[in-house]
Amino acid sequence: MSRNLATTPRADGFRMPAEFEPQEQVFMIWPERPDNWRDGGKPAQRAYADVAKAIARYTPVTMLVSAGQYENARARLPREIRIVEMSSNDAWVRDCGPTFVINGEGETRAVCWEFNAWGGLYDGLYFPWDSDNLIAKKIAELERTDYYETPGFVLEGGSIHVDGEGTLLTTEMCLLSPGRNPGMTRSHIEEKLAEYLSIDKVIWLTDGIDPEETNGHIDDVACFVRPGEVACIWTDDEADPFHEVARKSYETLSRATDAKGRTLKVHKLTTTKVPVTLGAGFAIDEIEGTAPRTAGDLCIASYMNFLITNGAVIVPQYEDEHDALALTQIKAMFPDYDVVGVPTREVAYGGGNIHCITQQQPGRSAR
Q: Choose between 81 and 102: whose C-beta lies nearer to its own copies.
A: 81
CB of 141 to its own copies, least distance (A): 6
Q: Choose between 53 and 82: whose C-beta lies nearer to its own copies.
A: 82
User: Residues near 134 by Cβ (< 8 Å), separated by ≥ 6?
Assistant: none
Binding residues vs its own copies (CB under 8 A): 1-4, 60, 67, 70-71, 79-80, 82-87, 131, 134, 138, 141-142, 144
The verdict on whether 299 is a catalytic residue reads: no
Q: Choose between 71 and 191: whose C-beta lies nearer to its own copies.
A: 71
Distance, in Å, from the CA atom of 52 to the CA atom of 190, rounded to the nearest integer, reads 34
Q: Which of 85, 45, 88, 84 is nearest to 62 (CA)?
A: 84
Q: Which of 18, 8, 19, 361 is nearest to 196 (CA)?
A: 8
The active-site residue out of 174, 232, 299, 356 is 356
CB of 60 to its own copies, least distance (A): 8
CB of 83 to its own copies, least distance (A): 6
Q: Which residues of 73-84 are buried (b: 16+ CB within 10 A; e: fewer)?
A: beebbeeebebe
The four Cα atoms 278, 52, 314, 92 give a dihedral, to 10 degrees, of 50
The amino acid at 152: G
CB of 131 to its own copies, least distance (A): 7
Burial environment of residue 110 by CB neighbours within 10 A (0 to 12, 13 to 18, 19 or more) = buried
Q: Choose between 103 and 131: whose C-beta lies nearer to its own copies.
A: 131
CB of 14 to its own copies, least distance (A): 19
CB of 97 to its own copies, least distance (A): 14
Q: Choose between 60 and 351: whose C-beta lies nearer to its own copies.
A: 60
Q: Which of 62, 52, 55, 53 is nearest to 97 (CA)?
A: 62
CA 349 and chain centroid, separation: 16
Q: Choose between 145 and 353: whose C-beta lies nearer to its own copies.
A: 145
CA distances from 238 to 1, 273, 274 (A): 54, 12, 13
User: Residues near 67 by Cβ (< 8 Å), separated by ≥ 6?
Assistant: 85, 87
Q: Would you give the DSSP letter of residue 261? A: S
CB of 79 to its own copies, least distance (A): 6
As a 3-state breakdown, the chain gives helix, strand, coil percent values, each rounded to 5, of: 30, 25, 50
Q: Are 48 and 316 in contact (CB under 8 A)?
A: no
Q: Are 52 and 93 in contact (CB under 8 A)?
A: no
Q: Choose between 134 and 366: whose C-beta lies nearer to its own copies.
A: 134
Strands 229-234 and 265-270: parallel
Query: Active-site residue numbers?
Result: 356
